[in-house]
Structure 1
Amino acid sequence: MNTQNTDQKREPRISKTLRSDFRQTKIKEEFKSEYKDLKQYFLTTERKKKFGSMNPIKKVFVLPWWLLKAMYFRLTPFRRILLFLGLLGLITSGNFSTGSDGTTLNLNLSTIFTSFIFLFILALELKDKLLAKTELQEGKAIQQSLMPEQSPKVKGWDIWLFTRSANDVGGDLLDFIQIDENKFGIAVGDVAGKGLSAALLMAKLQSTIRALVYDFLSLESLGNKLNMIFHRDSPSKIFASLIYAEINSESGVVNFINAGHYPPIIARKERVEQLEKDAPALGLIKEATFNKQLISLHQNDFMIIYSDGLTEAKNESGDFFGETKLIELLTNRKTMTSQQLGEMILSDVDSFIGKFPAHDDLTLAILKKV
């Protein structure tokens, strides 16, 4: 074992870190700055105006109370209960005394000061968390605005598109592009990882596809270009699986490339077949070869494209939904629309996982020839 590497990984000493913090931090200035941030974030416009007109002594007592109330109502119900119990414990830790003036409560000043410090830290952490949550929600709204309509209209086709993220924002790609009057593109992808970083890479990949599809007549060349750009612009060891398919309103032919994604499933009247995997995922290697695949769908045939959040959906026992269940479900399907089929699949998945939280994004694109 390398001693130098071991020393580098060793946690710093608390005493050394504390001395460094005191040397580097201007406590008075930092306190004023943080306190100002709390006022700015938690107080309403009306209360800010009232606070500005108060005398200095009243401000000292009113502001902590206002901040505590604002913070209290931003907590979840369970955490509100915990905070209430903590405050109740603080009050009951005081000493009651009875004299000629009646019963009085004496609180230890050190206890009050310590409690104030902890509440101040809690308020700062809550503010940062809520700000991050707000930014994620704004990111989610932008991400949703990039999503295609759920049932795009194409002559001769019945299409249903669906995606949901495990977190506030997701790393699954779903897009529908009209290339010309008769040709349309469908993209389903999955960027490695979850959360904000995956969502940003997904949005970049989506914009790259939209920019290039009009200029590349060959799907093979399109795949090569997408891989080169994703490899160049993404962090090391980050990759994305992708199926990009093109359909035509005048035929039942589906042309597509598969870059390391789960292969589509074809559900015909007499059988259900799973296609084979083809090329590597985008970004794994600098130069990759992508082969165009061609599938002919006849009337009432389905093509199901999905992300791993479907087959790898997990229940409380740790079991996966799996491809076998999905194929059995498709084998026993009745005559239905693409939306009905999609909703049946989702209902089965949700029943399977129960109350267990989703651990991955789930995306589903169903194409039916009509």
Structure 2
Amino acid sequence: MITKTKKRRVRLYKDRLNLLLDLAQTINEDHSIEDLLSEFEILLREELNVGKILVFTLSDKGWMNLLNSGVSKSEVDEINIERDLLRYKQIESITLSPPDNLKGFDAIIPLYHRFKAIGYVLIGDLEEEREGISPTIKHLKLIQIISNLIIVFIENKRMQKASLEQETFRREMELASRIQNQLIPGPDEFPKHKKLSIHTIYLPHLSVGGDYYDFIQLGRNTIGFCVADVSGKGISAAMLMSNFQAVMRSSFTKRISLKKLINTLNQRVNASANSEKFITMVIGKYNFMSRRLTYVNAGHLPPLLYDPEKGQLMNLTKGCIGLGMLDLIPVVEVGHVKITPGAKFIAFTDGLVELEKGNIITNDLLSVKRIITNQDPLEKNIQDVRTFIARNFDRRSVFDDISLVGMEFR
């Protein structure tokens, strides 16, 4: 025979099951977090007669108050999660002896996800003077189940959003990388001349980088070239470099002197970078008829010029400070070099030789000098440089963008 008590108990379980089913349906319908919290508040206040509700959840930015119903702002401000709530590992009734900062609440419900505390629910009656046990206490377990469903849903929403943001960022980086690679000239775009062989390397450390090289045909017998490096790396460096490339290509003409060109580029870098970044570069011209190389080294690593007839390696150091370091460059010294037949020239960014070993940054310029100081053709030297880079990648020593241009004068 079913007693009245059993009937009430069955009815209570049925009501609770219906509440959970309604909530599960709401979650499955993929409502917004705001809508779900509103449903949660209505359920607790109208179905379970909870008067005061506070929900705290852990986000990427720390603990935040997710829901506040029936609680004054001053009461919320007095609560410190680390001090007042983290010590609670299971449901706790605090009706009879609430801590000072939690007076007016009857229970604390910790919420866990993958064995990690990610939320706390505080509930209480509106009638704070009520004596004895709060009637909300009998619903604690149900409220914990419902709260966990809500918090896990919110956590999954947050992770889903983060995943979508990461995917969007990845696609944007891929697009930026493709665009930047199109700005860097390939072999088909190099100036063609029977007395010149050109070889290059371009390896951004991230998807995009702040390195840049270029070749420009200035006349039938003259080419222009440059290698540049924006301070820093990543998106901001790549954006400045793309702007710099546009300026350089429009400014570098047959008639402009390198000194004037450097000052023009410095003005434009200052206007674009707002003193937050600077650019080092090597820029020059080579005339096939006179076999004269004219260059300016603007705060960059000195290019290397190897003369096979004399067996000499020269550092090309004449120039000025980097672009964007000062409003006006005080002195620009232009270098002039007579090129002997068979000479080899390489200019590169510091990512090639500055390597990370433990917590120490070392400079392996000597290895690069050894690679070029021989009678091998430049093409073989560049292959050896690539082997040198690959070895340092395997050692995880490379931490910056790498660019190199090489020219062999036949």
Say yes or no: TM over 0.5: yes
Q: In the TM superposition, what whole-angstrom CA distance separates every residue of 1:223-265 from its partner, at most 9, and x where no partner exists?
A: 1111112112222231100111111232422111111111111
SS of structure 2 residue aligned to 1:347:
helix
SS of structure 2 residue aligned to 1:211:
helix
Per the alignment, residue 130 of structure 1 pairs with: 167
Structure 1 stretch 344-353 or stretch 167-176: which is displaced more?
344-353
Q: In the TM superposition, what whole-angstrom CA distance separates every residue of 1:155-203 from its partner, at most 9, and x where no partner exists?
A: 3111112211000100001111112222211110001111011001101
Give matches, 1:140-289, under 5 Å: 140-150=177-187, 152=190, 153-214=192-253, 216-269=255-308, 270-276=311-317, 278-288=319-329, 289=331
Contact 1:302 1:369 in 2 (8 A): yes
Residue 111 (structure 1) shift = 4.0
Per the alignment, residue 391 of structure 2 pairs with: 351
What is the number of residues matched between the two proteins? 274
Counterpart of 2:353 (choices 304, 311, 316) is 311
Per the alignment, residue 365 of structure 1 pairs with: 405
Name the aligned partner's letter for residue 203 of structure 1: S
SS of structure 2 residue aligned to 1:185:
strand
Contact 1:313 1:353 in 2 (8 A): no
- Tell me, in whole angstroms, the C-alpha distance in 1 between the residues paired with 2:322 and 2:243: 16
- Tell me, in whole angstroms, the C-alpha distance in 2 between the residues paired with 1:293 and 1:273: 12
Residue 273 (structure 1) shift = 2.2
Q: Please, what is the CA RMSD of the aligned residues?
A: 2.8
Residue 315 (structure 1) shift = 4.3
Bigger share in strand: 2
Give matches, 1:31-42, under 5 Å: none
Deviation beyond 6 Å, 4+ runs, structure 1:
none
- Tell me, in whole angstroms, the C-alpha distance in 2 between the residues paired with 1:136 and 1:227: 28
Unaligned runs of at least 5 residues, structure 1: 1-12, 24-85, 88-106
Contact 2:279 2:324 in 1 (8 A): yes
Bigger share in helix: 1
Name the aligned partner's letter for residue 236 of structure 2: S
- Tell me, in whole angstroms, the C-alpha distance in 1 between the residues paired with 2:267 and 2:151: 57
Q: In the TM superposition, what whole-angstrom CA distance separates every residue of 1:105-127 from its partner, at most 9, and x where no partner exists?
A: xx955444433222211110111
Name the aligned partner's letter for residue 317 of structure 2: E
Residue 290 (structure 1) shift = 1.9
Contact 1:342 1:364 in 2 (8 A): no
SS of structure 2 residue aligned to 1:217:
coil
SS of structure 1 residue aligned to 2:216:
strand
Name the aligned partner's letter for residue 339 of structure 1: E
SS of structure 2 residue aligned to 1:175:
strand
1:298 aligns with 2:337: no
SS of structure 1 residue aligned to 2:356:
coil
Q: In the TM superposition, what whole-angstrom CA distance separates every residue of 1:289-317 from its partner, at most 9, and x where no partner exists?
A: 32221122212111110100011133457
Contact 1:304 1:365 in 2 (8 A): yes
Contact 1:164 1:362 in 2 (8 A): yes
Give matches, 1:7-18, under 5 Å: 18=65
Q: TM-score scaled to structure 1, two decimals?
A: 0.68
- Tell me, in whole angstroms, the C-alpha distance in 2 between the residues paired with 1:154 and 1:130: 45
Contact 1:166 1:359 in 2 (8 A): yes
SS of structure 2 residue aligned to 1:314:
strand
Max Rg structure: 2
Per the alignment, residue 96 of structure 1 pairs with: none
1:120 aligns with 2:157: yes
- Tell me, in whole angstroms, the C-alpha distance in 2 between the residues paired with 1:232 and 1:22: 49
SS of structure 2 residue aligned to 1:299:
coil
Residue 318 (structure 1) shift = 4.1
Contact 2:318 2:335 in 1 (8 A): no
Per the alignment, residue 101 of structure 2 pairs with: none
Contact 1:192 1:239 in 2 (8 A): yes
Identity %: 23
- Tell me, in whole angstroms, the C-alpha distance in 2 between the residues paired with 1:199 and 1:259: 19
Name the aligned partner's letter for residue 153 of structure 2: F
- Tell me, in whole angstroms, the C-alpha distance in 1 between the residues paired with 2:172 and 2:62: 33
Distance 1:319 1:286, change over 3 A: closer
Residue 321 (structure 1) shift = 4.8
Distance 1:137 1:22, change over 3 A: farther
Residue 214 (structure 1) shift = 1.8
Contact 2:221 2:288 in 1 (8 A): yes
- Tell me, in whole angstroms, the C-alpha distance in 2 between the residues paired with 1:161 and 1:349: 13
Residue 285 (structure 1) shift = 0.7
Contact 1:168 1:195 in 2 (8 A): yes
- Tell me, in whole angstroms, the C-alpha distance in 1 between the residues paired with 2:145 and 2:65: 27
Q: In the TM superposition, what whole-angstrom CA distance separates every residue of 1:117-149 from its partner, at most 9, and x where no partner exists?
A: 222111101111111111111111111111112
Contact 2:224 2:286 in 1 (8 A): yes
Unaligned runs of at least 5 residues, structure 2: 1-60, 70-113, 116-143
